[in-house]
């Protein structure tokens, strides 16, 4: 059967949604079985997952590993990571081990301020808005009160606001810029609610006093660019302790400095460099039920904040000391949203010792730095493919339905030979035909 337009799909039950979609594939039974087998047995958990997103068909599983023994600010963490990329957990674990014996990671939160904007149009002049600040402030406070009480009790709330005329964007365009504290929550709904209330209040008051100003909101939404909510993770040790296979300690340290410099200056390298950092950060954000797209968007906007997209880490040698650090914004939460609803996210936070949002920022930045360290270590010494392809080999073998015996023979052979899908397939075919 070919793919057809489906009328009124969202009104169907979950079972019939599965049936309708499976019927259009031409392999109805196989697809239905796969989707049904993806569901958890417990009906309560099944229902909970269904409530997370619209038009639910099933569950898509990803492996969750753990990178043990991260020493961060003097405390040990075993960091759960959800990722499909085979080398990512191994890379984080290897970095954790390396730095454990060299003093561990230091991680410092530089600020926790989030922001959002009401983008609006008005023919009222900037001078009028400047003069109206006090009255607008009173009105904002009154209208926001029911929405901010709970957050204020937890130490958050609306912190500052200002109105900026930006006619260079378009005629009559203004921006109301608001900063927020959201305690241990990511706070997206809180911020967006406050911004919409402030937008309505601003339009009502401006039109009351300036009925001809045509004041209207274009949109009100949080920003994922949060330069006021950054964290810095760093490691440091004497250069002569920078031991590694394939390079002398000073040579290795100098190569790391060169690699970070290249990533800071060359966009081609910067994108890949930062992708490697986000390999770790996303894996932890997914495991803890955080919005990894928001974290990604924020990290890349930060990487481009001076107009050129740059690598996020820095390395330097000062005298006999090697320093390596990562600074990036992280707007994450440890309460509310999926962090509280996803059963596995709850377990992950427990494994991490139920951290506050601030502590999770510290852990996350250390993990990103660790990931980058292992990637650069491989890239600047033995090359990435040796370790990467060894991990990738496992996936190739699953794809080729290798037996345990074939697995062992292939692993032994490819210890000293270059891994590729074609080479592994040829090796296995040879084994299967000739038994050796
Ligand atoms: C692969 O997922 C990530 C790396 O390419 C990162 C890097 O090049 O720094 C290894």
3-state secondary structure of 39: coil
Residue (of 106, 17, 122, 33) closest to 70 by Cα position: 106
Residue (of 80, 69, 79, 78) closest to 104 by Cα position: 69
How many other C-beta atoms can be found within 10 angstroms of the C-beta atom of residue 315?
24
Residue whose CA is at the smallest distance from ligand 1 atom 3: 276
Q: Three-state SS string across 72-141, please?
A: ECCEEEEEEEECCCHHHHHHHHHHHHHHHCCCCEEEEECCCCEEEEEEEECCCCHHHHHHCHHHHHHHHH
pLDDT of residue 88: 96
- Reply yes or no on whether the pLDDT at 138 is more than 90: yes
Specify whether 275 is catalytic. Answer: yes
Task: Note whether 344 and 261 are within 8 A (CB).
Answer: no
pLDDT of residue 340: 83
pLDDT of residue 150: 95
CA atoms within 13 A on the CB side of 343: 8
Q: Where are the domains of the chain?
A: 9-52, 64-109+227-382, 114-222, 388-434
CATH topology of domain 114-222: Alpha-Beta Plaits (3.30.70)
With bands split at pLDDT 50, 70 and 90, how would you rate the model's confidence at 374? very high
Q: Which of 254, 291, 314, 359 does the annotation list as catalytic?
A: 291
Query: Cα–Cα–Cα angle for 236, 298, 256, nearest 5°?
Result: 30
Query: Cα–Cα–Cα angle for 284, 178, 341, nearest 5°?
Result: 35
pLDDT of residue 395: 80
Least confident of 66-70, 116-120, 125-129, 397-401: 397-401
What whole-number distance in Å separates Cα of residue 106 and Cα of residue 99? 11
- Reply yes or no on whether the pLDDT at 389 is more than 80: no
Least confident of 219-223, 376-380, 427-431: 427-431
pLDDT of residue 392: 78
pLDDT of residue 375: 97
What share of the chain has pLDDT > 70, as a percent?
99
Q: What is the pLDDT of residues 35-68, one digit of tens each?
A: 999 999 999 999 999 888 899 999 999 999 999 9
Handedness of CA 274, 279, 283, 284 (dihedral sign): negative
Check whether domain 64-109+227-382 has CATH 3.90.770.10, yes or no:
yes
CA 322 to centroid of ligand 1, rounded, Å? 22
Q: How many residues comprise the chain?
A: 436
Mean pLDDT value across residues 247-255:
97
- Reply yes or no on whether the pLDDT at 79 is more than 80: yes
What whole-number distance in Å separates Cα of residue 173 and Cα of residue 171? 6
pLDDT of residue 393: 85
Structure tokens at 46: 């099944």
Q: Which of 78, 147, 275, 386 does the annotation list as catalytic?
A: 275
Q: What is the pLDDT of residues 320-350, one digit of tens each?
A: 999 999 999 999 999 988 888 898 999 999 9
Mean pLDDT value across residues 302-327:
98
Query: Ligand 1: does its nearest atom lie under 6 Å from the Cβ of 276?
Result: yes
Mean pLDDT value across residues 190-194:
98
Query: Ligand 1: does its nearest atom lie under 6 Å from the Cβ of 272?
Result: yes
pLDDT of residue 80: 98
Mean pLDDT value across residues 200-216:
98
Query: Ligand 1: does its nearest atom lie under 6 Å from the Cβ of 85?
Result: yes
pLDDT of residue 123: 98
Give rounded-to-5 percent helix, strand, coil for the chain: 55, 20, 30
Q: What is the pLDDT of residues 260-272, one digit of tens each?
A: 999 999 999 999 9
pLDDT of residue 1: 65
Averaged confidence pLDDT in the chain: 95
Q: What is the pLDDT of residues 147-170, one digit of tens each?
A: 999 999 999 999 999 999 999 999
406 Cβ contact partners less than 8 Å away, ≥ 6 residues apart: 397, 428, 431, 432
How many other C-beta atoms can be found within 10 angstroms of the C-beta atom of residue 321?
13
Mean pLDDT value across residues 16-45:
94
CA 374 to centroid of ligand 1, rounded, Å? 9
Residue (of 167, 296, 318) closest to 238 by Cα position: 318
């Amino acid at each position: 059967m070919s793919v057809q337009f489906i009328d009124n799909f969202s009104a169907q039950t979950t079972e019939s949604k599965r049936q309708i979609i499976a019927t259009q594939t031409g392999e109805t039974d196989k697809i239905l079985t796969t989707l049904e087998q993806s569901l958890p047995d417990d009906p309560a958990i099944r229902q909970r997952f269904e409530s997370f997103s619209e038009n639910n068909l099933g569950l898509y599983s990803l492996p969750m590993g753990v990178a043990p023994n991260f020493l961060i600010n003097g405390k040990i963490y075993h960091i759960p990571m959800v990722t499909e990329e085979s080398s990512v957990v191994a890379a984080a674990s290897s970095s954790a081990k390396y730095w454990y014996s060299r003093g561990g990671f230091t991680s410092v939160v530089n600020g926790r301020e989030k922001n959002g904007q009401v983008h609006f149009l008005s023919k009222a002049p900037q001078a009028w808005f400047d003069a109206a600040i006090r009255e607008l402030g009173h009105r904002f406070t009154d209208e926001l009160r029911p929405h901010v009480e709970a957050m204020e009790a937890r130490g958050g709330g609306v912190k500052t606001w200002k109105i900026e005329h930006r006619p260079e964007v378009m005629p009559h365009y203004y921006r109301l810029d608001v900063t927020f504290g959201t305690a241990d929550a990511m706070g997206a709904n809180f911020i967006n609610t406050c911004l919409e209330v402030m937008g309505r209040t601003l339009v009502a008051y401006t039109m009351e006093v300036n009925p001809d100003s045509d004041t209207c909101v274009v949109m009100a939404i949080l920003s994922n660019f949060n330069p006021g909510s950054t964290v810095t993770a760093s490691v440091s040790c004497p250069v002569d302790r920078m031991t590694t296979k394939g390079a002398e300690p000073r040579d290795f340290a100098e190569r790391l400095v060169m690699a970070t410099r290249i990533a800071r200056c060359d966009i081609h390298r910067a994108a890949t460099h930062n992708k490697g950092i986000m390999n770790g950060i996303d894996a932890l954000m997914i495991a803890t039920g955080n919005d990894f797209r928001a974290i990604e968007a924020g990290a890349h906007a930060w990487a481009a904040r001076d107009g050129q997209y740059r690598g996020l880490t820095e390395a330097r040698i000062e005298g006999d000391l090697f320093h390596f650090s990562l600074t990036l914004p992280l707007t994450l939460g440890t309460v509310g949203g999926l962090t509280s609803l996803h059963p596995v996210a709850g377990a992950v936070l427990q494994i991490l010792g139920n951290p506050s949002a601030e502590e999770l920022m510290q852990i996350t930045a250390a993990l990103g730095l660790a990931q980058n360290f292992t990637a650069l270590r491989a890239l600047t010494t033995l090359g990435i493919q040796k370790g990467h392809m060894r991990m990738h080999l496992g996936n190739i073998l699953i794809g080729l339905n290798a037996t345990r015996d074939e697995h062992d023979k292939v692993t032994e052979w490819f210890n000293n030979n270059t891994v590729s899908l074609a080479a592994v397939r040829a090796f296995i075919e040879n084994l299967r035909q000739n038994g050796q």
